[in-house]
Each structure stands twice: as structure tokens, then as C-alpha cells.
Amino acid sequence: MMTTHTGHTDAIAASRVIGTEVYNTAGEHIGTIEDVMLEKSSNGIMFAVIGFGGFLGIGEKFHAIPWSVLDYEKDRGGYVVPYTKEQLKAAPAYSINELAGKDGEKARDASYAYYQVDPYW
Amino acid sequence: MMTTHTGHTDAIAASRVIGTEVYNTAGEHIGTIEDVMLEKSSNGIMFAVIGFGGFLGIGEKFHAIPWSVLDYEKDRGGYVVPYTKEQLKAAPAYSINELAGKDGEKARDASYAYYQVDPYW
């Protein structure tokens, strides 16, 4: 998922990312990409928002997953993340409001620290 | 629209950006944000996709607008870009397919060159 040596990159539409299923490397279904959080004032993709649980959206909690760990697997028709269910269950989780605006940065920082992903910023 | 000195940034959900109206500084309605193009293999927001014209989506052409030039104006409830209608009409325009995948990078490069926006990559 790193930029290639030549710097070339493919473009993917946010509208196509949203709604895509997410699995882990063990093949377990983790959730669905509910949204992608973008930096307002610079050019970074902050994280993908993955929903897990809640009933009809009530009390639903969300994970902030670093964009760079999402690996699209064509055969599975979804993204794969290299985490166990236990790791994901113990990860920081947020209401949707806690992921937007000024709070989004806090969620981003906590997520990158938890998953030990190098900051892009 | 640049990162502040402290590096803090607000988060905005891609789903909220999509569907937002776009005006120019003269107050003319330019179009609607149809999508946001994301780099697959690195962490950059490539550009916003603005639709203009076509009938029921047939023959519709799209602009690639650098993310950094979109300025949200609360009073207007939409984004404002600093271009005249003439500048926009003469800008590179694409079918939606020409903005995705490997072609997205070409559209991005042409757009940043046309609008004279410094590359983020």
C-alpha cells in the first residue's frame, strides 16, 4: 500500500469506498466502511470509518482505521485489515460525532498509535 | 485553506462533501461536488469531482478541482472557488471513467497545472 518508486498512484472514488465490506486476514467479517474522513485544511486522508454493531444506528460505535492499512482484495470484494477480532474489539471506538470536526484529529492520533501506523502528517 | 502553523486540522466526512454545491467568488453557481478522488496507494486527496451539465448523467463532463482551492462558506452553504465561468469552461473536462484508476493521475496533473496550484505530491 505504499507509493511505488515512480510515485504513481491509482485514483479511487470516495463514493465507491463507502459501503465496502471489511474483513481481517483470518477471513472474519469486521464491518463496513461507513465513511472516509478528510482533512479540511490540508491534503490528507485521515482515516476510514468502520461501523461495527449498534441497532439501526442507535448506539453504534465506529473505528478510525488508517487508510494505509486497508488492502483491497478483489477475490473477496472487500478490504482486508491485518488485525484479529480481539485487537479490533480493544481498539479506540467513537460515536460518529467524535470523528468529525476538531475531535477527528484526536481520534486519528489515537488510532495511529493503537495500530502502530506511522503518521502521514 | 493551508495547514495552520500548529498543524491542527479539522475532519470532514467524504459523505458530507459529496452533494455540496459549488459557487465562484462572483456568486455564480458552478456545479455540485459529485465525488472526491482518493489515492489508493498513498495518503493524498487527489481532487474533488465537480459535475457540470449533461442530461440525466448522459454525456456529463466533470472537472477535477484541487481540494485545497475549495473554500467552504457557511453563509452560502457551499464551496467557493476563485475562478470565473470562462476559466472553468476552458478547464480540462473528463468523463467519470477518465478520473478513476490509472487515468486519475493524468487528470489530477492536468488540473493542478491548469489552475496553477502547487502539487501536494
ipTM of the complex: 0.89
CATH topology of domain B14-114: SH3 type barrels. (2.30.30)
Q: Is the pLDDT confidence value at B60 over 90?
A: no
Q: Which amino acid is at A79?
A: Y
Q: Which residue has the higher pLDDT, B4 or A50?
A: A50
Catalogue the E-assigned strands of A1-121.
11-13, 21-24, 29-39, 45-52, 61-65, 71-73, 78-81
The predicted structure's pLDDT at residue A8: 76
Instruction: Assign B74 a pLDDT band (cuts: 50, 70, 90).
Output: very high
Q: Is the pLDDT confidence value at B3 over 60?
A: no
Q: What angle do CA A66, A120, A10 make, to 5 degrees?
A: 70
CA pseudo-torsion sign B43, A75, A25, A4: negative
Mutation to test the B interface, candidates A6, A40, A111, most B Cβ within 10 Å: A40
Q: Which amino acid is at B121?
A: W
Q: How high is the mean pLDDT of chain B?
A: 89
Asked if residue A10 lies in contact with residue B101, where contact means CB atoms within 8 angstroms, the answer is yes
Q: Is the pLDDT confidence value at B1 over 50?
A: no
Q: Is the pLDDT confidence value at B9 over 60?
A: yes
**Rg of chain A over all Cα atoms, to the nearest angstrom:** 14
The predicted structure's pLDDT at residue B47: 97
DSSP 8-state secondary structure symbol assigned to residue A1 = -
CB contact under 8 A, A43 and B45: yes
Tens of pLDDT along chain A (121 residues)? 444 445 678 999 999 999 999 999 999 999 999 999 999 999 999 999 998 765 666 677 899 999 999 999 999 999 999 999 899 989 999 998 899 999 999 999 999 999 999 999 9
DSSP string, B52-112: E--BTTBT-EEEEE-GGG-EEETTTTEEEES--HHHHHTS--B-GGGGSBTHHHHHHHHHH
Could you state, in order of their start, the residue ranges of all structural domains in chain B?
14-114
Enter the C-alpha cell of residue B65: 478541482
Closest CA in chain A for residue B108: A11
CB-nearest to B38 from A7, A36, A103 is A36
CB contact under 8 A, B36 and A44: no
Region B76-91 average pLDDT? 93
Region B12-31 average pLDDT? 95
The predicted structure's pLDDT at residue A39: 96
